[in-house]
Amino acid sequence: MTEPLNPNPRPVEPAALSLEGKEYSLPVVEGSEGERGIDIGRLRAETGHITLDTGYGNTGSCTSAITFIDGDAGILRYRGIPIEQFVDSPTFIEVAWLLIFGHLPSETEYQDFSEDLTRFAHIDESMKHQFEGFPRSAPPMATLSAMINALSCYHLDLHELEDEAELRHAAARLISKIRTIAAYAFRHSRGLPYVYPDPGLRYVPNLLHMMFSQPYSQYVCPILVRKAFNLILILHADHEQNCSTSTVRMVGSSGANLFASCAAGVSALWGPLHGGANVAVLDMLEQIHQGNVTPEEYVRLAKDKDSNVRLMGFGHRVYKNFDPRAQMLQKVAEELLPQISADDPLLDIARRLEEIALSDPYFVERKLYPNVDFYSGILLRAMGIPTNMFTVIFAIGRLPGWIAHWWEQSQTPGGRIARPRQIYTGNGLTDYLPMERRP
Q: Of the listed 188, 316, 323, 405, which one is catalytic?
A: 316
Smallest distance from ligand CMC to CB 167, Å: 25
Phi, psi of 31 (to 5 degrees): -80, 180
Quick one: 122 or 300, whose CB is closer to ligand CMC? 300
306 is catalytic: no
150: left (phi over 0), alpha (psi -120 to 50) or beta: alpha
Q: Give the whole-angstrom CA distance, residue 261 versus residue 285.
A: 34
Q: Give the whole-angstrom CA distance, residue 110 versus residue 116.
A: 10
Q: Whose CA is closest to 316, among 358, 274, 349, 347? A: 274
Smallest distance from ligand CMC to CB 183, Å: 22
Three-point CA angle 277, 283, 289, nearest 5°: 140
Q: Give the whole-angstrom CA distance, residue 130 versus residue 150.
A: 9
Amino acid identity of residue 351, one-letter, is: R
Amino acid identity of residue 379, one-letter, is: L
Please report, for residues 118, 129, 151, 221, 311, the alpha-carbon distance to residue 181 in angstroms, rounded to integers and kept in the order given: 14, 12, 10, 19, 32
Quick one: 9 or 315, whose CB is closer to ligand CMC? 315
373 is catalytic: yes
Site for ligand CMC contains 52 (CB under 6 A)? no
Smallest distance from ligand CMC to CB 94, Å: 23
Quick one: 267 or 371, whose CB is closer to ligand CMC? 371
Site for ligand CMC in 108-147 (CB under 6 A): none
Quick one: 331 or 367, whose CB is closer to ligand CMC? 367
Of 39-47, 107-115, 143-151, 274-282, the window that binds ligand CMC (rule: CB under 6 A) is 274-282
Determine which residue in the list 366, 384, 412, 420 makes contact with ligand CMC, applying CB under 6 A: 366
Q: Give the whole-angstrom CA distance, residue 304 versus residue 60.
A: 32
Quick one: 19 or 364, whose CB is closer to ligand CMC? 364
What value does the CA radius of gyration of the chain take, rounded to a whole number of Å? Answer: 23
Q: 38 has which bridge partners?
A: 28
Determine which residue in the list 90, 275, 400, 401 makes contact with ligand CMC, applying CB under 6 A: 275
Q: Of the listed 238, 323, 360, 373, which one is catalytic?
A: 373
Q: Pattern of binders to ligand CMC over 298-337, x per CB under 6 A? A: ----x-------xxxxxxxx--------------------
Determine which residue in the list 5, 153, 273, 364 makes contact with ligand CMC, applying CB under 6 A: 273
State in Å, rounded, how far the first CA of the chain is from the last one.
73
Residue nearest to ligand CMC (CB): 315
Quick one: 131 or 314, whose CB is closer to ligand CMC? 314
Smallest distance from ligand CMC to CB 315, Å: 2
Site for ligand CMC contains 364 (CB under 6 A)? no
Please report, for residues 19, 56, 208, 421, the alpha-carbon distance to residue 425 in angstroms, rounded to integers and kept in the order given: 22, 19, 51, 13
**Half-sphere exposure for 95 (CA within 13 Å, toward CB):** 31
Amino acid identity of residue 437, one-letter, is: R
Determine which residue in the list 277, 284, 288, 333 makes contact with ligand CMC, applying CB under 6 A: 277
Site for ligand CMC contains 9 (CB under 6 A)? no
Site for ligand CMC contains 368 (CB under 6 A)? yes
Smallest distance from ligand CMC to CB 393, Å: 12
Q: Which residues contact 433 (CB under 8 A, 6 or more apart)?
A: none
Number of residues that bind ligand CMC (CB under 6 A): 20
Please report, for residues 60, 97, 150, the alpha-carbon distance to residue 2 in angstroms, rounded to integers and kept in the order given: 25, 17, 40
Smallest distance from ligand CMC to CB 137, Å: 24
Site for ligand CMC contains 67 (CB under 6 A)? no
Of 124-132, 215-223, 268-276, 405-413, the window that binds ligand CMC (rule: CB under 6 A) is 268-276
Site for ligand CMC contains 274 (CB under 6 A)? yes
**How large is the angle between the packed helices 164-190 and 140-154, nearest 10 degrees?**
140
Site for ligand CMC contains 242 (CB under 6 A)? yes
DSSP 3-state of 191:
coil
Q: Give the whole-angstrom CA distance, residue 87 versus residue 89.
A: 6
Q: Which residues bind ligand CMC (CB under 6 A)?
A: 55, 242, 273-275, 277, 302, 310-317, 366, 368, 371-373
List the catalytic residues.
316, 373
